[in-house]
Amino acid sequence: MMHVGLIHYLAVSGALFALGLACIVLRRNALLVFMGLELNLNAANLALVAFSRYGGHAEGQVLATFIIAIAAAEVAIGLAIIVALFRRRATIVTDLLRSLKG
Amino acid sequence: MTAYDAIFWFFSLALLLCGVLVLISPNAVASGLYLVLSFFFLAGLYVLLEAFFLALIQILVYAGAIMVLFLFVIMLLDFRESRHWWRGNLLGWLGAPLAAGTLLTALLPILKRSGALAVAPEQWFEGTLENVMTPVFTRYLLPVEVTALILLAATIGGVVLGRKETKP
């Protein structure tokens, strides 16, 4: 059996990204869509950290730190938007929020 | 198979299992809790990659702060989704494999070259606090300041968006 290396971490990261993508595309609850987005960000972070570790440079982990900080801002704004949406429309089912679609 | 490999497989399989449970769980609270669990397993993978600082931040910021916010909003909205969320979403079921396939095709060249990207084990990077934060506060000082501005904007935006609407 092959020893765990960079490619294993990249494969796990890719699978996690695919799960997040499926969550975004398939779920109709806006909160679940948002959770899928978090999974995507974390998959990207895992790939960056793995590249940083096996490539021997700090940049990947520096970028991952920034991504976590930006994700915090994104969650605050996104959840505020979802709460405002729920107050106005009394639903967060993405299929029912279609007033821009004409 | 060494102990390292066994721990890697345990953490990554548990991580992916939690990801699947986030996707298929009909209850949003359960999804949120599985997401927290998956962040813990991801922190375990970070420790395996010797990214100790990021593992700590992952638990403190993600599992601690972001997910508490998530669960708080889920409880606040008290929104019940239909149990059969997978029904009648033909476009999504067609689009998801298509998107995943496109992504995989784009990533395959990188995966194939990943062996060439790796350096010798003695040059592997150790993600201690000092090693990660020294470049952040020297070479990447400007991005830190921009991030601080973004966080400030997010705080103000969150307050404005979360306010009750007042009639003018």
Instruction: Please write the tens of the pLDDT for every residue from A14-66.
Output: 899 989 988 888 888 888 999 999 999 999 999 999 989 888 888 899 999 99
Q: How far is B168 from chain A (nearest CA, A)?
A: 17
* Token pair recorded at residue A15: 């699978």
Which of 72-131 (B) contact A at CB < 8 A?
Answer: 73-74, 76-77, 79, 81, 85-86, 89, 92-93, 95-96, 99-100, 103-104, 107, 110-111, 114-115, 117-119, 123-125, 127, 131
Whole-prediction pTM value? 0.89
**What is the band of B2 on the pLDDT scale with cuts at 50, 70, 90?**
confident
Residue A62 in contact with residue B132, Cβ under 8 Å?
Answer: yes
DSSP structural state of residue B139: T
Q: Collapse the DSSP code of B138 into the 3-class scheme (helix H, G, I; strand E, B; otherwise coil) and give the result.
A: coil
What mean pLDDT is predicted for residues B40-64? 92
Question: Measured between alpha carbons, how far is B74 from B68 in angstroms, rounded to an integer?
Answer: 10
Q: How far is A6 from chain B (nearest CA, A)?
A: 7
- Does residue B121 lie in a domain region? no
Residue that the structure tokens 């198979």 belong to: B1
Q: Which of B81, B100, B118 is the last residue of a domain?
A: B81
* Token pair recorded at residue B113: 């070259």
The partner residues of B4 in beta bridges, in order of sequence, read none
More confident residue, B11 or A55: B11
Q: Is A64 touching B (CB cutoff 8 A)? A: yes
Model pLDDT, residue B168: 62
Indicate if B5 and B60 belong to the same structural domain. yes
What does CATH list as the number for A6-93? 1.10.287.3510
What mean pLDDT is predicted for residues B77-101? 76
Among A75, A50, A97, A62, CA closest to B142: A62
* Token pair recorded at residue B118: 């790796």
- Terminal Cα-to-Cα distance of chain B (whole angstroms): 69
Q: For residue B79, give every residue at least 6 positions away whose Cβ sits within 8 Å of its Cβ, in sequence order, or none.
A: A29, A31, A86, A91, A92, B28
- Does residue B111 lie in a domain region? no
Check pLDDT > 90 for residue B101.
no
Find chain B residues with C-beta within 8 A of A49's C-beta. 46, 49, 51, 54, 127
Q: Domain of B4?
A: 1-81
What mean pLDDT is predicted for residues A4-11? 86
Contacts across the A-B interface (CB distance below 8 Å): 230
Q: How far is A75 from chain B (nearest CA, A)?
A: 7
- Does residue B19 lie in a domain region? yes
Model pLDDT, residue A70: 93
Give the ipTM of the model, two decimals please.
0.90
CATH code of residue B76: 1.20.120.1200
Asked if A56's CB is within 8 angstroms of B161's CB, the reply is no
How many structural domains is chain B composed of?
Answer: 2
Indicate if B6 and B71 belong to the same structural domain. yes
The residue of chain B with its CA nearest to that of A91 is B79
Highest mean pLDDT among B23-32, B94-103, B149-158: B149-158
What mean pLDDT is predicted for residues A62-75? 93
Q: For residue B163, give every residue at least 6 positions away whose Cβ sits within 8 Å of its Cβ, in sequence order, or none.
A: none
Q: Which of B62, B81, B100 is the last residue of a domain?
A: B81
